[in-house]
């Protein structure tokens, strides 16, 4: 008997960063966080630079133009990119 596979494409809707953690709120209500040490450019950035982000690819990732840094939601979730 065939089964249906439901593919979820997690999308970011908001980002919060403090001195230790990046937290990304997803459209489906989940929140994923990771140590800021995983992202040296963000870790070493000023608070103003960290706040200057925008969503890319309909929430598939986050981009910081001041830092030339991109973080994909799939990478935060440990999914293939």
The pLDDT tens digits of the residues spanning 14-33 come to 999 999 999 999 999 999 99
Q: β-strand 69-72 against 61-64: which pairing, if any?
A: antiparallel
Q: Contact at 8 Å (CB) between 32 and 24?
A: yes
Residue 36 lies in a domain: yes
Q: Which of 1-5, 14-18, 42-46, 76-80 has the lowest mean pLDDT?
A: 1-5
Q: Contact at 8 Å (CB) between 22 and 71?
A: yes
Q: Contact at 8 Å (CB) between 43 and 71?
A: no
Q: How many domains does the chain have?
A: 1
Q: Is residue 77's pLDDT more than 80?
A: yes
Report the SS3 class of residue 60.
Answer: coil
Q: What is the pLDDT of residue 80?
A: 84
Give the predicted TM-score (pTM) of the model.
0.87
DSSP state of 23: E
Residue 27 lies in a domain: yes
Q: Domain range spanning residue 18?
A: 12-68
Q: What is the CATH number of the domain that holds 49?
A: 3.30.2020.40
């Amino acid at each position: 008997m065939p089964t249906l596979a439901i593919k979820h494409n997690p999308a970011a809707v908001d980002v919060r960063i403090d001195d230790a953690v990046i937290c990304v709120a997803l459209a489906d209500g989940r929140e994923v966080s990771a140590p800021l040490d995983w992202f040296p450019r963000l870790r070493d950035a000023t608070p103003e630079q960290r706040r200057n982000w925008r969503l890319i690819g309909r929430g598939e990732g986050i981009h910081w133009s001041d830092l030339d840094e991109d973080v994909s939601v799939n990478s935060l979730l440990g999914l293939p990119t």
